[in-house]
Amino acid sequence: MAPVTPFNQLSNVEQAEDYAENLFVGRSVRLRPLREDDLPYLEQWWFDPSIVVLQNHTVLPRPEGGVSEQFSQWSANTSSEAVGFSIELTETEEFVGHVTLYGRNPINQSATLAIVLGPEFHGRGYGSDAVRLAVKYGFLQLGLNRIELQTWAFNTRGIASYTKAGFVEEGRRREAVFFNGRRHDEVIMAILRDDWAGNS
């Protein structure tokens, strides 16, 4: 993976082309536009119990179709308030998940990150790679200063992945979610542009 030259350091056409070409390419995955044939996978994954318990406030079946509409809106990319990308493997072009930056606040220069991977792709480093790409896009292309996310305290795999991508825990909403008869904390994590620039 070649380093991406920041916009403010571009001095010729070749550097501009290199910036655009490498902006969406990571170590093992690349980000691309959402395609129609991605949607059935996202519908399936969103209702998988291993995903539901990590992405939603409650485990509750939902009607089919709503998830496709939600992901299509996130990935329309017609506004910088929210951008969404499908994640595919660079070698095989296999679709493995989706990442989005939403709720962009142009005054505070902040946004929230969310990611979903197919259960069969967990634990292989694809999530960390995709998060790093989304963070890079947010800082270099959207001009963000802060990217945050929320997850449940029992999502230790996710927390490890986010930490690997440069996020730090900022605080917790104590006992904010109720699952399996118990209350659990919500963990708030974030990465700042200066932190990212110092480590990239």
Q: What is the pLDDT of residues 22-50, one digit of tens each?
A: 899 999 999 999 999 999 998 888 776 66
Instruction: Tell me how far apart the alpha carbons of residues 149 and 169 are, in angstroms, rounded to a whole number.
Output: 10
pLDDT in tens, 63-99: 666 778 888 888 888 887 889 999 999 999 999 999 9
Instruction: Tell me how far apart the alpha carbons of residues 150 and 157 are, in angstroms, rounded to a whole number.
Output: 14
In a domain, 6, yes or no: no
In a domain, 135, yes or no: yes
pLDDT score of 2: 47
Instruction: Please state whether 93 falls in left (phi above 0), alpha (psi between -120 and 50) or beta.
Output: left
CATH number for the domain including 61? Answer: 3.40.630.30
Higher pLDDT, 57 or 138: 138
Fill in the DSSP letter of residue 31. E
- How many separate domains does the chain show? 1
Whether 126 has a pLDDT exceeding 90, the answer reads yes
- How many Cα atoms occupy the beta-carbon half-sphere of 44 within 13 Å? 11
Q: What is the pTM of this model?
A: 0.84
Phi, psi values for residue 72, rounded to 5°: -65, -40
In a domain, 8, yes or no: no
Find all residues with CB under 8 Å of 25, minimum gap 6, and list them: 1, 90, 133
Fill in the DSSP letter of residue 99. E
In a domain, 41, yes or no: yes
Instruction: Tell me how far apart the alpha carbons of residues 132 and 199 are, in angstroms, rounded to a whole number.
Output: 11
Q: Which two tokens stand for residue 89?
A: 């493997």
Whether 1 has a pLDDT exceeding 50, the answer reads no
In a domain, 2, yes or no: no
In a domain, 113, yes or no: yes
Residues of the domain holding 187: 13-199
pLDDT in tens, 137-183: 999 999 999 999 999 898 888 899 899 999 999 999 999 888 778 88
